[in-house]
């Protein structure tokens, strides 16, 4: 199957500090791929480059065969992402956040589906200022999955979730729903 994401020979330096040297990998549709490495290894830098947020020095990134860079964001229409902490509006409810980001004719259906898949029913109608860190994090992941993107990029999605919450967070089942082949 053709790769949804191709990272080929990526180089990136911040000033004289070389962070990425010839990084290459591909991701096929329906697969979950983890970037593993100690703090400072360059994981977030790779994800920011894939999302066209920061420039790179050499190499190529393509999503669905289309090149991505700091000035070419067209391919990112098929991508959902959460990088670092989600941007939260304290006076909106979780559901209002999702309604704001939902696209297409089935907006309400998409919102209800992601709330259900991630088990957020209990607090989705409360204002986000009352959310715990973990609840905010889940809302950020829900936003990333909401529009059933072809590619999902999550940077430390379990931030702020305790072990029990990780297990029951619904993030994995939400991902499974998103990645399941259309029936």
Ligand X SMILES: Nc1ncnc2c1ncn2[C@@H]1O[C@H](COP(=O)(O)OP(=O)(O)O)[C@@H](O)[C@H]1O
Which parts of this chain interact with ligand X (CB under 6 A)? Answer: 14, 19, 37, 39-45
User: Which lies closer to ligand X via its Cβ, residue 58 or residue 109?
Assistant: 58
169 touches Mg ion (CB under 5 A):
no
End-to-end C-alpha distance for the chain, whole angstroms: 18
User: Which lies closer to ligand X via its Cβ, residue 19 or residue 98?
Assistant: 19
CB burial class (10 A; 0-12, 13-18, 19+) of residue 16?
exposed
DSSP code string of 93-128 = BHHHHHHHH--STTHHHHHHHHHHHTT-TTTTTSBG
The CA angle 146-147-153, to the nearest 5 degrees, is 75
39 binds, among Mg ion, ligand X, none (CB under 5 to 8 A by kind): ligand X
User: Which lies closer to ligand X via its Cβ, residue 94 or residue 140?
Assistant: 140
User: Which lies closer to Mg ion via its Cβ, residue 54 or residue 100?
Assistant: 54
178 touches Mg ion (CB under 5 A):
no
Q: Give the nearest distance from C-beta 115 to ligand X in angstroms.
A: 29
Q: Give the nearest distance from C-beta 47 to ligand X in angstroms.
A: 8
Q: Give the nearest distance from C-beta 99 to ligand X in angstroms.
A: 31
The Cα–Cα gap between 61 and 161 comes to 31
Is residue 88 within 8 Å of 131, Cβ to Cβ?
yes
Q: Quick one: how far is CA 110 from the chain centroid?
A: 17
Q: Give the residue, chosen from 6, 44, 143, 169, that forms a contact with Mg ion under the rule CB under 5 A.
A: 44
Note the residues at the interface with Mg ion (CB under 5 A): 43-44
């Amino acid at each position: 199957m053709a790769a949804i994401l191709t990272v080929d020979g990526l180089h990136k330096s911040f000033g004289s500090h070389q962070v990425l040297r010839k990084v290459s990998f591909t991701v096929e549709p329906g697969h979950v791929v983890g970037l593993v490495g100690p703090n400072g290894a360059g994981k977030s830098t790779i994800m920011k480059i894939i999302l066209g947020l920061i420039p790179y020095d050499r190499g190529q990134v393509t999503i669905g065969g289309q090149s991505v860079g700091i000035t070419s964001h067209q391919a990112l229409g098929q991508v959902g992402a959460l990088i670092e902490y989600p941007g939260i509006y304290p006076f909106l409810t979780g559901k209002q956040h999702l309604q704001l980001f939902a696209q297409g004719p089935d907006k309400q259906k998409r919102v209800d589906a992601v709330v259900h898949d991630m088990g957020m029913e209990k607090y989705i109608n409360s204002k986000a200022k009352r959310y715990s860190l973990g609840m905010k994090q889940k809302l950020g992941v829900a936003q990333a999955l909401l529009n059933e993107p072809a590619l999902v990029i999550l940077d430390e999605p379990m931030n702020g979730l305790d072990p029990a919450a990780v297990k029951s967070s619904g993030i994995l089942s939400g991902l499974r729903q998103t990645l399941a082949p259309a029936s």
